[in-house]
Each structure stands twice: as C-alpha cells, then as structure tokens.
Amino acid sequence: MSPKPVPEDLRRLAAAHGVATGYRNERREPVDVDADVVIRVLGLLEVDAGTAADRRRELARLAERESANLLKPTVAVRLDGHPKPLPAAASLTGEDGDHIEVRDELPAELSPGWYRLQTRDGQETTLVAAPRQVPQPPATWGWMLQLYALRSSRSWGIGDLGDLREFLKWTAAEHEAGVVLLNPLHAPGPTHPVQPSPYTPSSRRFANPLALRIEDLDAYRRADPETRAEVDALRVSSGIQRVDHDLVWAAKRAALEALWRSDGRPSPLDASAPSPSGLRDWATYCALAERYGDRWTGWPEPLRDVAGPAVAEARRELAPRLAFHAWVQQRCAEQLAAVRADAHDAGMAVGVIHDLAVGVDPHGADAWALADVLATGVSIGAPPDNYTPPGQDWGLPPWRPDRLAATAYTALRDMLRAVLAHADGLRIDHVAGLWRLWWIPPGDSPARGTYVHYDAEVMLAVLALEAHRARAAVIGEDLGTVEPEVTEALADNGMLGCAVSWFVRGESAPGQPLLRPPEWPSRAAASLSTHDLPTAAGFLRGEHVRARAELGLLPDAPAELAAARTERAEWLALLRSEGLLPSPDAESAAPPEPDEATIIAAMHRLLAATPSRLKLISPYDVLAETRQPNLPGTIDEYPNWRLPLPETLEQLRTDPRIAEITAAFRTVAASDCH
C-alpha cells in the first residue's frame, strides 16, 4: 500500500518542527512517510495537525513568532579566537555570575562555558559557547572490555572495578597499552530481575553497583569482625559458566546493606553534604521501586510526577532507603575515580573510555525523573530495510527536541557530565542520534514511524563543551548507513569514527574488496569486531551463522553460510597478500590452511598495521572465544551479556596468546615513535 501523500501545509509544518516527511533508505532511495504518521508524530510534540484548520492555526503561530524575531531558547557558538557577530546582543552572564557587556558581537576572548544572553529588545536565551573541536587523543592501542566478563579469584561471579584496576596496571606495565574502552557502566534498576543489557539502563546518570569490589570499600575495612564475616559469607563463586546478574546483585546488595548499617547508616542527602545533581531523584526512584516495582508507569498515579507532593511525602517516609541508595552511588563514584587514577598513574596514553548508551529503559529511573524532556510512550528504532524488513524497535524513549531546547539542554548536559566525571574519553553509541532518531508512536510498528530531527548544532556544542571541560576524547559509533552530514561533522568536531574489520571495504571499488591496512581511516577507533558482531574465532568457524540458524533467525541459512565461507576466503587471501600468512608455494594448487591461532594472530597484526588513531583489541578475539557477547534479535534464546571470558584474570596473565598479540601492537607503536 502506498503511503498517503503529505499535503504542502503539513509538509511545511513538519519541517518547522523537525519531523521528516521523507528520507533515504540504505540504498539512498527516497522513501515517503505516510501523512497520518506525520500527523501523529507532530501530535506527540503537542502540535495539532489533524485538519487543514489545525495546520493553518499552527502555521500562523509560527509566522507570528518568526516576524517577532524571537531567539531560539538555546543557541550555540563555536569559539575560534575571533569575535562572533550576534545582532542585538547586550550582555552575558556566566555560570559564576560574572556580567559581561557586549554590543552586537561576542568577544574574541570569550571563555568556553554556559551563559545567559540578554538582548537590547529584552529577550533572554541560553548560550552554549564551545570550542571548535573536542580534545584529540594521542595515537595508541589498547583493549575493549565487557567488564562483567572479566572475572578473577577475588570477584563475586562478575567482573568488578577491582578486577579492572588490576587489569589496567598489568597491561600498562606489561604491554604498554594506552587505553581501555569499557561497556556502559550505567545503573540498572534496584529490583529483580536485573536487566543484563548495559544498553538498556535504568539511568545513564548513575553507575552499576554490581561492578563494586566489596572488599575495597572503606566501610568493609572499618567493619568489625562479625560484620566482615557476614559479608564474606555472601561471596559468589567466580567459577561460573554464566554471569548471573540476579544472584550477584542479591549478594552484593545484602553486603552493602550490612556495611551501610555498620557504618552508621550515613545519608549523602543530608542538607550539609553536597551531592550530585539528580542523586536524590535516583535514590527516590530506587526506594519507590522497592515498594511498588520497577515500572514507574504502573505506580499509583500521584507518584508518577517526580515534582509532585506525593513524591515529596514519599521521600520523607522512605528517607532511610534513599540514604542507602545514595550511599551506594557514592561508593561507585569513589571506585570509578580510583580506576581512572590508576590508569593515569600507570602512564596510559589515553586512559579509560566509557560508553554512552543511546537511551534508557522506558520504565526506569531516568524515564521517570526526566519525563518532562522525554517523549514518554514513544520508542526509537530503525526503519524497514533489506536487512531487517520489519524495521527495528529498540524500546527506548527519545529526547523531545523542543523540551531540550526550552530547558537549556540541562538534562543532556548533566548526563554527559555524569559519565565524563570518571572518563578520559567517551564512546557514543549510535552517534547519528545527535542529528535524528526514528520515532515509533505508541502502539505502532517500526514501519509506522518517521525521523525526528534535533538541533545538531547545539547538541554537538554541548558535547564539545563538556568533553573540553573533562579533557576527554570522543568516539562516535557510526557503523552502518549514516548521512554524509554526520561523517563530515564528526571530522569537523575532531571526533573519531569507528572502523570494524568486517566492514572496512572499498565501497566504490568493483566487488567492494577488503581494504589493505594503509587504506583504513586514520580518524577512527579500529577493531576486529564489536560486542554485537562475530568474534574472530566465531567468524572463522561460521559460528555467527550457525547460532542464528539454530534459532530460526535466518530465512536462507545455506546462502548465509556460503557468504560466510566467501568472506573467510577473502580474509585469508588478504592476510597472505599482506605477508601476514604464508603464501602457497609454486607447486601447490591450493594454499596450505594455517591453524586458527595463526590466522587470529595475523588478523591482529593487520589491525596493528593500520593508521587508525586508536586500535582496540578484545580478549574474546585473542582467546579464540567463538561466542559473541550479544546476538542481536534475541533476548533469552541466547546468553546475551552473560558470557564470562573463557579465562580468569589470573589465567590471562600467563596465556602466551596475550603476549604474542600485544607484542605486535607494541612493535608498531615503537616504530611510529622513530
């Protein structure tokens, strides 16, 4: 069925509010959006567009605003040492209250920061004054880790921040690694079942307490022998085949409760103690979730309003529970700070890069506390394409662009600050979401959605300013089909893109061949794979095809297997042509097949030879683990986010494969210095 045509007045109204009436698919072909979808999405932005009369009224309102020359509620400027024209500008007020008189332009010496701008005609707006680019990381190599998978003899059935500290110090000293990229360490909800996916957090502003090393807490060291014995008895064995997030959280929560009590039940929320923005709301959500369940949309109606009187009363009634959850977050902040300090002390060139998920659980803490700037009930995803004909629904609520602007992007700023507080760099999942997101109205399928655009100029300025203040590099995950403007803006802003070996091909060349190492992008964080893609051994064995075929996820499994074999042969041919594997001798009709360990080592040597700024390797690849951490399209059919590494931290230290593969990166790094 063809989409219902969009009339011209609806097209104009949609354009004014950033709602797409058409887009280009993955083949760059134009696709029209149904008029009813456009009307529904405009309604989600509180714009009436159902009838011609509604549209005339809304367009008249827009024309009136335009004729009044009203400033946007938030504007951005990039600082480059030159004055910036800003007609009618009269004064600026900085975050410290300092007042700067200006006249029709911003001074060349203006410092990066957040300002209130006043104009001569009485208007006032928020000004984001940002550097032209984010900080640039030095060229180095390192690891990308799924922290939950990095277990040791000391951790409680899950990798923790103590394990991470030991890993950092070891790999920096032994291998001269300069960076570690972590999976998102955002907070899941406080109840069971625990959401195992780090990309569906309850909050992106707070940290995952499952990552705490209990014995490293000052409260544990101060505790009396009886309390320490009680805590020690809760320990979960590290000899597990699957990471059991619920078992670990039950044990660690009980341990944290015991230590909090033994420490005198302190409350970081006392008026005399400064606490991070939003900490009270996070702790309140946790306390209410313990009483009413983790889905705030199912709570009694009065408790769904974070600013309402019922919530204020609940804070008082549940004060001890608020105190506990706030105290736990303080302990997370302390251990995250210790990780970063260890990376610096070890001389890492970059340090620790944290990952920012694209959204949050619609029933979780941030969706409740930030409901005024989120499109509650809406889900983001991706439109139908050849790879996923029904489209994708990620089940995450998007920012409302109008509300972000009206509130001076405070929620975005606070979220970035929270993650950057303990980071030397930031990876942004689905970075194209700074420009646009595919909105799926409540109850609809992905095919009944459209793109909603954001003010990328301001979004990028907020990111650049906060990254500048944190002295943090930024990686934008730009895999798949992205608009040319995204690629250009990443470069203009000094952000790195991503280069994953399976996809680094000559797109314009016949047959789209794999690229040789010198042809890889330099402005990139490069890796063999990612958490959503086959590991090196999984790729070589076709495990990614077998696993999906067994689960009925492939419409044509034989064709997929044939394609996987072709890709494998391509890789072997490339490795041979680069001298990374032995070439066939003249008398042999077919080249000899190297063993898997030799091929994997050669794949890593190819990665080491690329000019990409950051080169990241994964223990899953080095250790020849065949199973990838996450298999897209599955939930419980596959052990997503539950697979520990096949070796403990202690075993990693003595595994010769680690020494062999890291040596390739050390050799390249040393030659680059000369």
- What is the structure's pLDDT at 669? 67
Q: Is residue 36 part of a domain?
A: yes
- What is the structure's pLDDT at 413? 97
Q: 63 with 91, same domain?
A: no
- What is the structure's pLDDT at 633? 86
Using N-to-C axis directions, what is the helix angle for 8-16 and 35-44, rounded to 10°?
Answer: 40
Q: Which residues pair with 186 in a beta bridge?
A: 207
List, for residues 103-144, the tens digit of each pLDDT value: 999 999 999 999 999 999 999 999 999 999 999 999 999 999
Rounded to the nearest integer, the mean pLDDT of the chain is 95
How far is Cα 27 from Cα 491, in angstroms, rounded to an integer? 23
Per-residue pLDDT, averaged over 428-433, amounts to 96
Q: Is residue 540 part of a domain?
A: no
Category of 264 on φ-ψ map: left (φ > 0), alpha (ψ -120 to 50) or beta: left
Per-residue pLDDT, averaged over 635-643, amounts to 94
Domain count, the chain: 2
- What is the structure's pLDDT at 481? 77
* Nearest residue to 209 (alpha-carbon basis) of 354, 328, 336, 289: 328
Which of the listed residues 101, 131, 161 is the one where a domain comes to its end? 131
* Nearest residue to 300 (alpha-carbon basis) of 292, 312, 309: 292
Q: Is residue 578 part of a domain?
A: no
Three-state secondary structure of 221-242 = HHCCHHHHHHHHCCCCCCCCCC
Q: Provide the Cα torsion 496, 497, 498, 499; round to 10°.
A: -100
Q: 49 with 18, same domain?
A: yes
Q: 52 with 102, same domain?
A: no
List, for residues 307-356, the tens digit of each pLDDT value: 999 999 999 999 999 999 999 999 999 999 999 999 999 999 999 999 99
How far is Cα 462 from Cα 416, in angstroms, rounded to an integer? 9
- What is the structure's pLDDT at 27? 84
Per-residue pLDDT, averaged over 152-177, amounts to 97
Residue type, 478: D
- What is the structure's pLDDT at 231? 98
**pLDDT value at 255 more than 70:** yes
- Alpha helical stretches, state H, 30-160: 35-44, 52-67
Supply 249's token pair. Answer: 């959280």
Q: Is residue 62 part of a domain?
A: yes
- What is the structure's pLDDT at 593? 85
Q: 16 with 62, same domain?
A: yes
List, for residues 536-595, the tens digit of each pLDDT value: 999 999 999 999 999 998 889 999 999 999 999 999 999 999 999 998 765 566 667 899
Q: Is residue 43 part of a domain?
A: yes
**Whole domain around residue 95: which residue ranges?**
84-131
List, for residues 77-91, the tens digit of each pLDDT value: 999 999 999 999 999
List, for residues 58-84, the tens digit of each pLDDT value: 999 999 999 988 899 999 999 999 999
Which range is least confidently modeled, 183-197, 380-394, 445-459?
Answer: 380-394
Q: Is residue 97 part of a domain?
A: yes
Per-residue pLDDT, averaged over 369-382, amounts to 96
Per-residue pLDDT, averaged over 261-267, amounts to 96
| Local confidence band at 239 (pLDDT 50, 70, 90 cut-offs) | confident
How far is Cα 533 from Cα 631, in angstroms, rounded to an integer? 7
The model carries a pTM of: 0.96
What percentage of the chain has pLDDT greater than the value 90?
89
Q: Is residue 567 part of a domain?
A: no
Is residue 18 within 8 A of residue 28, CB to CB? The reply is no
Per-residue pLDDT, averaged over 208-234, amounts to 98
Q: 88 with 63, same domain?
A: no
Q: Is residue 34 part of a domain?
A: yes
Q: Is 281 exposed, middle or buried (0-12, 13-18, 19+ CB in 10 A)?
A: buried
| Local confidence band at 46 (pLDDT 50, 70, 90 cut-offs) | very high
What percentage of the chain has pLDDT greater than the value 70?
97
- What is the structure's pLDDT at 385? 83
Is residue 268 within 8 A of residue 333, CB to CB? The reply is no
Q: 57 with 20, same domain?
A: yes
Is residue 51 within 8 A of residue 42, CB to CB? The reply is no
**pLDDT value at 273 more than 60:** no
**pLDDT value at 155 more than 70:** yes
Beta-carbon neighbour count of residue 121 at 10 Å?
Answer: 11
Residue type, 161: L
How far is Cα 106 from Cα 91, in angstroms, rounded to an integer? 9
Per-residue pLDDT, averaged over 163-181, amounts to 98
- What is the structure's pLDDT at 388? 79
- What is the structure's pLDDT at 670? 63
Q: 15 with 61, same domain?
A: yes
Is residue 380 within 8 A of residue 439, CB to CB? The reply is yes
